[in-house]
Structure 1
Amino acid sequence: MEQLKQQKIWVCWRYETKHSRRTKVLYNTKGYKTGTSKKYNFQWASYDEATVAVKANGFDGIGLVLPKGIGGIDLDHIDRNSILAEEVRELMNTYEELSPSSKGIHHLFKVDVEKIPSNKGKLSSDYYSKNPHNDMEIYIGGLTNRYLTFTGETINDVPLADRTDEVLTFLDKYMKKERFKEDSCDHFDIIVTARKAKNGEKFIALFDKGDISGYGSPSEADQALCNILSFYTGGNADQMDSLFRQSKLYREKWEREDYRTSTIENAIKGCHGKFYIGSKSRPPYIYYDERSKRMKVNCPLLARHIRENLHYIFVRDSARGGVLRYVYEDGCYRLYADEMLKGIIKNYITSFDESILQMRDVNEVFGQITTDLKFKTSEELNADEDIINFQNGILRLSDMKLLPHSPEVMSTIQIPCNWLGSAKPTPVFDKFMNDLTSGDKAVENLLLEFMGVCLSNVKGHRMKKSLFMVGKGDTGKSQLKSLTERLLGNGNFIGIDLKEIESRFGTGNLYNKRLAGSSDMSFLTVGELRIFKQCTGGDSIFAEFKGQNGFEFIYKGLFWFCMNRLPKFGGDDGQWVYDRIMQVNCNNVIPKEKQDKFLLDKMYAERDGIVHKAIMALTQVIKNGYTFTEPQCVEKAREVYMAENNTVIAFFTECMEERPLGKIKDSCTTGRVFDVYKAWCMDNNHGYAKTAKEFRTELADYLGTTFSDMTVRRGKGGTFYHRYTLTDEAKSRYQRAYGYDEFPLLASNQ
């Protein structure tokens, strides 16, 4: 672009209204109207001169008159993430930017003019320079005398590349004019049909008589006749030209290529794709029935046509014993209900002729397609851990290369943003994360790592971790989870708490979910984290829905819980359980007057930049052997949680103390200690208590010894912990369980 910016090829433009139509009018840098033909080239300026003039004269923008060897493609009224835009982007792979309206796309490239089909110094008449059927335009300096607006709002900011071969492909694929088809109506049929139509008198006056009395000028009459011809020829430009030459309106002006082309293109565009049915090519599944004298649908042929032209997959639903139907749409397989699939079948028929639609045909075709015995398994969906599906392509994590979408990639999750490949400012998100983590960058990085894994296909059990965000209300802890869920899309996450996960009919809700958890989990006590252990460990789990057969699956997603208090759980609560919990404490309460009710929407608007941060953090997790980077505060919180949640440790900390001088002077046997422990669990752990053996073993492990080494036998008095006893407060509070110190024992140092 820098070389072009130095050349005197730049002009300014301003929006002006002419004949009730808003158009761009060209000006030179001094404020006078100019043009794109060679006679104006002395008025053109450099890029810098043009940009200065825009500010000085209040112009709306700048553009460049394309010099020989430089070409441009203009796509109007198109979403930058649409399939068509992606096709052209993949083909051209050159400098790309948004149009001034932000509703179009421009490509700039180098081209060898000598290799482009031409005739008398202009683009060959076999091709449109402006295709009225698809809103595409192509301009080639040296063949087309045009300019292209320039905004600098880049989509693909790369140097201009030689795309001669790609231009030839583009011309053949998107700009080639349709020639007469063997099954098109011939001239005579079109003329007869037009004469018999409701507006036949209008056609006769123009075509047969050359009567222009009802029009303001001969050009308006030409346009009116072309409008009629466009409808009856199906927008066939060559056929329109041939028919017009047979009309009484034909005159020398029609030989002007620019006039003829613009008149025909305006007529085609004015039809908005709706043409006379007789002009349409009949699809192979439509036939003429001689008996009924009407068009009909051949259902087996339509079913075959759909199999060959529509990308779809059927997936066995192990959970409910049915079939899930997915249709490939905008780079991703979308879940379709039966009626939605029937709608697609219906459209194949009505796109040719609405009058021949019969729902029995739709149902028959639906039945033929859905009884094909070709199924995928749910394990095949989103199975490639090396890719992430974005709106503008498939990101391959191993080399960070953006690949084009392909129906061969069985992806049902598409992140609703573009992969830009570079950082983008996220001021709202940055402030939110700073408030959420109280400025702790290590914690912020951990949260981004976890978010990145959630947005990927990486199996959650590879990390063997879950996220528990703990703190008072109004800290924003649930907002980050909600943002991640919004990026994943409905159907890919579920709100569920730990107790529901462990319940008989709750486990099945995890099936095919990328993220599971609760945004506001109430304090709860769970007997055992059996399913939690299996899910985070990658084990096969058994699940069932009420009234249906059970099934097994491996949970590939992650757990994310937000809560005010950590849950209590019993059963196997060894070190492995706590190692699978990453506890992040959120203590920064945001005052009501400073809370932003639209925070989630504002962060979602920054999603391109946020997702880039998360994916870059994800790459570090992968490089570290699928290991999260846990800050010291998370490791410390784990130790505290273990002490508080483990009833043995918590009981020891709260209710036991060292014996004064190491002497046994009470009746506090090991049996009485366990009895008081069980009573304490009734008050503090909903009655869930360890067995006597588990209590002794875990207490000894915590103290770094063995039960035999920490106890002493005192004759008939029983077995005692020779260094530890219950506190007086514990003996008093749980007197019913403890009893009394019935007799003084001899002092002992053992």
Structure 2
Amino acid sequence: MAELPSDIKAMFINDDFDSSQFFSEKGGFLHYQFAEYLADKHNGILLDGKPHLFDGKKYISLDKNTIRKLTLNYLPSLKENQNKEVYYKLEALCGKNPQEQAAPYFVGVNNGIVDIRKMQLTDFNPDIHITNIIPVDYYPEAQSDLVESFIKDLSNDDSEVEKLIYEMIGYGLYRDNFLQKAFFFFSPGGNGKSTLFKLLHYFYGTQNTTALSFKDIQSRFKPASLQSTMVNIADDIDPDFIKETGNYKTIVTGDKFNAERKGQDDFNFIPYVKLMFAGNELPQTSDRSRGFYRRMILIPMLKQFGRDGQKGDPMIFHKLKKPEHLSALLNLSLKGLSNLLEAGYIKEPQVSIDYKAQYEYDNDPILQFLNESTDDKHRTIPAVEGRPTEKAYAIYQSWCNKNGLLAVSKPKFTRELRRIGLESTVKWSAAYHKTIRFYARETTIDFYDEDGAKL
């Protein structure tokens, strides 16, 4: 017989269990009575629109597979159709007891629940409705030179980056996306980011993490797995072009999200998952909106380990995952979380700000065009500002041809210019005795005709 998972095992106290009470005198199975027993014993509730049972530490989502494992311990002789009857009755009973997730300042850990307002550890309690427990013990006095040295090395001795990493890990423990930020680690290999992500999977626990790529998040069915997930940790982000970003924005913001599992009805949930990505380079995207970049924190990993850099420790992960080091990491992360809650925002390191500005520029051909292009005939005047729209677009097309880029349509060109403050406006041309449409800012003074002569 297959070994029961630990979260299912924890749900049973069988010393006083009398199975005969759930069968009639003629041997018929009393599925409703058994469902009532389970709902009462395991605090059946409706949480996030789904039935849940308390396993002694946290609430676990009820599905048919959970019921099979549950009844296997209580009544191992039940048939599949009887399990289904129990499931449907228990689902209905849980539906009569709707509850809400506990406040996000309750953080479930291996040895209890930490109230981060007071940094106090309390016992597990069915009245505190949480669905996430990280496999780390909370000991307020825990410290680790190894953990601090590892994070400092990853940060390239940049104290701002070091502080950010602890705050990011702490933010992952908080079941609310109040900062509305996602985290992108990038740089060539040999810098420890893979070790960090491996450690974070272990720190948060496999039941609390997913590993969806950016493209997976934009897919139809995969985002459903983000419900009740603490962090999504995806290494080796695909550098290919990203076209769709709608799901990413909604999830990072923590807005109500509509998801769907294959073959099932769609449903809504409020995501509190934190998105963390890593890659050797950042992907290009068609989304150049402020909303896209505002949600992004770039963390360059500049320290090199191995042959071309600092000597690395191939066993560092196996050392860091020991309980005493994980407890120390928890303390450092909770301190980082407290800083975030007190400040109400996350401070981006200067190196992150600089790299993001460069990323925005590299990802914006229109901005590159404005900064790099010149009109071959009139090098002393702007290529776009104060120029007739037809002429400016022709200069843009020529620049794209020279740089091997595909020019966007003129309407899209106009929309992109509007994004950076250049509007299409109409002005009277005395030379041509007609109105001409120009690209201009509110502060534009000089205007030019088709040949570059000042009007």
Mapped contact 1:520–1:563 kept (Cα < 8 A):
yes
Does residue 374 of the first structure (1) align with residue 93 of the second (2)? yes
Pick one of 94, 114, 118 that aligns with 1:399.
118
Partner residue, 2:7: none
SS in 2 for 1:569: coil
Partner residue, 1:649 = 367
Contact 2:54 2:126 in 1 (8 A): no
Amino acid of the residue matched to residue 58 of structure 2? C
Shift of 1:468: 0.9
Query: Is 2:308 the partner of 1:590?
Result: no
1:543 counterpart = 2:259: yes
Residues 145-184 of structure 1 show CA distances to partners (whole Å, capped at 9, x for unaligned) of xxxxxxxxxxxxxxxxxxxxxxxxxxxxxxxxxxxxxxxx
From 316, 321, 333, the counterpart of 2:59: 333
Alignment equivalent of 2:42, drawn from 311, 314, 339: 311
Unaligned runs of 5+ in 2: 1-9, 442-449
* Shift of residue 567, structure 1, vs aligned partner: 1.6
Q: Structure 1 residue 697 and structure 2 residue 423: aligned?
A: no
Give how far 1:492 is off. Answer: 2.5
Q: 1:656 to 1:746 in 2, by over 3 A?
A: closer
For 1:711 and 1:645, locate their aligned partners in 2 and report how far apart those are by CA, in whole Å.
36
Contiguous gaps of at least 5 residues in structure 1: 1-82, 84-280, 350-357, 724-744
Deviation at 1:590, TM superposition (A): 1.1
Identity over aligned pairs, percent: 18
User: Residue by residue, what CA displacement relative to the aligned partner does 1:115-160 show, whole Å, maximum 9, x if unpaired?
Assistant: xxxxxxxxxxxxxxxxxxxxxxxxxxxxxxxxxxxxxxxxxxxxxx
Cα displacement string for residues 284-341 of structure 1 (whole angstroms, at most 9, x for unaligned residues): 5548x9x99xx99987766655444x325365886xxxx6654413x22345764664
2:391 corresponds to which residue? 669
Looking at structure 2, the residues matched to 690 and 636 of structure 1 have their Cα atoms a distance apart, in angstroms, of: 31
Shift of 1:500: 2.6
3-state SS of paired residue (2:239): coil
Rounded to whole Å, the distance in 2 between the matches of 1:550 and 1:365 is 25
Which residue of 2 is the match for residue 611 of structure 1? 330
SS in 1 for 2:278: strand
Higher relative contact order (CA 8 A, sep 6+): 2
Q: Residues 434 and 382 of structure 1: is their aligned pair in 2 closer, same or farther, counting only changes over 3 Å?
A: same
Aligned length: 423
Pick one of 270, 274, 280 that aligns with 1:558: 274
Query: Which one-letter code corresponds to 1:466 in the other structure?
Result: A
Give the 3 Å change call, closer, same or farther, for CA 347–428 of structure 1 in structure 2. same
Matched residues in 1 for 2:429 and 2:195: separation?
A: 55
Matched, 1:436 2:141: no
Counterpart-to-counterpart distance in 2, 1:377 and 1:562: 43
**Residue 294 (structure 2) aligns with:** 579
Q: CA deviation at 1:657?
A: 6.9
Are 1:486 and 2:199 matched, yes or no? Answer: no
**2:188 equivalent to 1:472:** yes
Q: Is the 8 A contact 2:39 2:93 kept in 1?
A: no
Relative to 1, partners in 2 of residues 1:392 and 1:680: Cα closer, same or farther, differing over 3 Å?
farther
Residues 255-280 of structure 1, C-alpha deviations (whole Å, 9 max, x = no match) = xxxxxxxxxxxxxxxxxxxxxxxxxx
Indicate how the Cα distance of structure 1 residues 747 and 468 shifts in structure 2: closer, same or farther if over 3 A, else same. Answer: closer
Q: How much does 1:749 deviate? A: 4.9
- In the aligned structure 1, how far is the partner of 2:244 from the partner of 2:33? 58
8 Å Cα contact 1:579/1:638 also seen in 2: no
Match of 2:218 among 490, 498, 502: 502
In 2, are the aligned partners of 1:496 and 1:518 still within 8 Å (CA)?
yes
Structure 1 378/695 Cα, relative in aligned 2: closer, same or farther at 3 Å?
Answer: farther
CA separation of 1:553 and 1:586: change in aligned 2, threshold 3 A: same
Q: CA deviation at 1:597?
A: 3.6
Could you give the per-residue CA deviations for residues 223-276 of structure 1, whole angstroms, max 9, x where no partner exists?
xxxxxxxxxxxxxxxxxxxxxxxxxxxxxxxxxxxxxxxxxxxxxxxxxxxxxx
**Letter of the 2:118 counterpart:** D
**Could you tell me how far apart the structure 1 residues matched to 2:451 and 2:62 are?**
81
User: CA shift at 1:547, angstroms?
Assistant: 4.5
Quick one: structure 1 residues 314 and 711, their matched pair in 2 at CA, closer, same or farther if it must change by over 3 Å? Answer: farther
TM-score (normalised: structure 1): 0.49
- d(CA) in 2 for partners of 1:642, 1:585: 15
Q: Describe the SS at the equivalent of 1:616.
A: helix
Q: Which residue of 2 aligns with 1:43?
A: none
What does 1:622-637 correspond to in 2, within 5 Å? 622-625=341-344, 627-637=345-355
Q: Report if aligned partners of 2:340, 2:346 keep a CA contact under 8 Å in 1.
A: yes
1:47-106, Cα deviation, whole Å (9 max, x unpaired):
xxxxxxxxxxxxxxxxxxxxxxxxxxxxxxxxxxxx9xxxxxxxxxxxxxxxxxxxxxxx
- Return the alpha-carbon distance in structure 2 between the equivalents of residues 683 and 377 of structure 1: 60
- Give the direction of change, closer, same or farther, for the CA distance of 1:647–1:383 in structure 2 (3 Å limit): farther
Match of 1:409 in 2: 128
RMSD: 4.3
Q: Summarize the Cα distance change of 1:661–1:525 in structure 2 as closer, same or farther, 3 Å threshold.
A: closer
Equivalent position of 2:340 in the other structure: 621
CA shift for structure 1 position 483:
2.1
Alpha-carbon distance between aligned partners in 1 of 2:355 and 2:184, rounded to the nearest angstrom: 11
Query: What are the superposed Cα offsets for residues 526-555 of structure 1, whole Å, 9 maximum, x if unpaired?
Result: 224222222223333333344444333332
Q: How does 1:54-93 map to 2 (within 5 A)?
A: none
Question: What is the DSSP-based 3-state SS (H/G/I as helix, E as strand, rest coil) of the residue aligned with 2:44?
Answer: strand
* One-letter amino acid of the structure 1 residue matched with residue 237 of structure 2: M
State which of 170, 173, 192 in structure 2 corresponds to 1:455: 173
Residues 425 and 438, structure 2, Cα contact 8 Å, conserved in 1: no
